[in-house]
Structure 1
């Protein structure tokens, strides 16, 4: 049984509030005071989260493995 969990954050200093994530994935992201925020701070592995992180023009969406803290996206160098 795979119990992998991811944490989802938005780097508020990098977010420009373009709303791409909220418009494409409204069940995952919202806008508050002109900045994106995840509606759920934790998730199982999910292609939508990866898509949102890749679509963010500022790379402000951070998806990490909860157990290890290693970035899923953007990938650690």
Structure 2
């Protein structure tokens, strides 16, 4: 069984670029205020979701492992 992720978008940081929705349309959507939100807060680990988080120009997307809370993205420095 693969990893499960918790995906969050910090709407106070999101600038509505739409990069996430473009890279992972099954994972993210923009609302009428052009703010991103995950389509599902809990999801199977997926390369598209990670690519969308990495592509966010303001790093508004956080991905953690369900259960442990270990950070998948953004990487800890």
2:10/2:60 contact within 8 Å kept: yes
Structure 2 counterpart SS, 1:30: strand
Counterpart residue number, 1:12 = 11
**Structure 1: tracts of 5 or more residues without a match:** none
- Equivalent pairs, count: 76
* 1:71–1:24 CA distance, 2 compared to 1 (3 A): same
Partners in 2 of 1:16 and 1:36 — Cα distance? Answer: 8
| Superposition RMSD in Å | 1.2
Further displaced range: 24-33 or 58-67:
24-33
Matching of residue 35 in structure 1 with residue 52 in structure 2: no
Counterpart residue number, 1:61 = 61
Normalising to structure 1: TM-score of the pair? 0.88
Structure 1 residue ranges (4+ consecutive) displaced by more than 3 angstroms after TM superposition: none
Normalising to structure 2: TM-score of the pair? 0.88
Matching of residue 51 in structure 1 with residue 73 in structure 2: no
